[in-house]
Structure 1
Amino acid sequence: MSERPSTAPSDTAPSDRRTFVSKVSAAVIGGLITIAAPIAGLFPILDPLRRRGDTRGMVRVTAFAALPESGEPRKFPVLDTLVDAWNRTDNVPVGSVYIQRTGDDSVRVLHTTCPHLGCSVGYNAAGRGYFCPCHKSSFALDGTIADPKSPSPRGMDPLEAVVRDGEVWVKFQNFRKGSPERIAV
């Protein structure tokens, strides 16, 4: 008599099933890692492009009470948070402004840089105006050109400002020099 193969369940079937499940699981996990890692790596690379459209908001410059009630302008540094591609630096001096109290809760803010060539403009208390020492431009208290012979193509650059909760907040920005139009840069 010949011996017939046994029809009893084999011990290899559960092993084959386990091997199949582990191979499929490994393929799925490997595929997810293969896809997820490059996508996760794109976020820090593309982050500066995402932030490019952000605009800088208002910066707190001083307390309103620090301004003289006489309306005489005071010069204040502007400290802001600078953010480049991956770094953030707090309290960095980015410029300065003249702030003048014009009412009970209003101010006039002028950029301290001359619109002619970018020299620093000083305040002349005796003359009640501003003066640029580089090319002799002179400006009235409101920032307009005081002397028609002034080489400056426009008056001093006013900046947007609000008084909020007893503090002066300024939207600080720079403008193109030497141009009769006020063009933000």
Structure 2
Amino acid sequence: MSDTNHAPDRRNFVTKAAAVVVGGLISVVAPVAGLFTVFDPLRRKSDTRGLVRVASLASLPESGEPRKFPVLDTLIDAWNKTENVPVGSVYLQKTGDNTVRVLNSVCPHLGCSVGYNASSHGYFCPCHRSSFALDGAIADPKSPSPRGMDELEAIVKDGEVWVKFQNFRKGSPDKIPV
């Protein structure tokens, strides 16, 4: 009779030991996974925007006339990742066989969209009549713009134009990134 009393105790011991092990694992793994999720945005770089592919070099005219292109980037905001979001636009101008000039299409005066005027070979802001030369410099000394158009960094790699897109503070004579 003593043998039958020990058998259920052994079975209960194995069940209880398994429950303690599984419970222990759950109580450790779940909080650790939760901490990784909560602190995930802090592990990422704060500046996720680097070089963005804008266009192919072949899409630019050989004449050097600028063309306007949208800038589409991947935005990461905390836990959300959204691809191909329009973040602005730029003018690309072929300046050599493998070189380009990139100008932000926003007027440095108050942020209006600058247009290209092919007949005058320059840029024009319709909001306050700022005018800019083909290289982005202020064309009219009476222009209300405090500085020329903002030139951006770019590289040409494998026939593709990659731009480091960024905006700058409006109304300031200094080029201050925002």
Report the TM-score, using the length of structure 1 for normalisation: 0.86
> Paired residue for 1:170?
163
Give the Å deviation of 1:54. 4.1
* 2:42 matches 1:49: yes
In structure 2, the residue matched to 1:77 is 70
Gap regions ≥5 residues in structure 2: none
Q: Deviations over 1:98-135 (max 9, x none)?
A: 00000010000000001111000111222221111111
* Alignment match of 2:58 (pick from 61, 65, 79): 65
Q: In structure 2, how many angstroms separate the alpha carbons of the residues matched to 1:55 and 1:86? A: 13
SS in 2 for 1:11: helix
Structure 1 unpaired stretches of 5+? 1-7
Report the Cα offset of residue 14 of structure 1.
4.1
Q: Secondary structure at the match of 1:94?
A: strand
Structure 2 residue aligned with 1:144, among 137, 157, 160? 137
Which is higher, the Rg of structure 1 or of structure 2? 1
Count of matched residue positions in the alignment of Structure 1 and Structure 2:
178
The separation in 2 between residues aligned to 1:81 and 1:60, in whole angstroms, is 11
CA–CA distance in 2 between the matches of 1:13 and 1:54? 65
Q: What root-mean-square deviation, in Å, do the aligned CA atoms of Structure 1 and Structure 2 show?
A: 1.9
- State the distance in 2 between where 1:34 and 1:181 align: 55
Question: Identity, % of aligned pairs?
Answer: 72
Q: Does the aligned pair in 1 maintain the 2:48–2:76 contact within 8 Å? A: no
Q: TM-score when scaled to structure 2?
A: 0.89
Cα distance in 2 between the residues matched to 1:29 and 1:85: 32
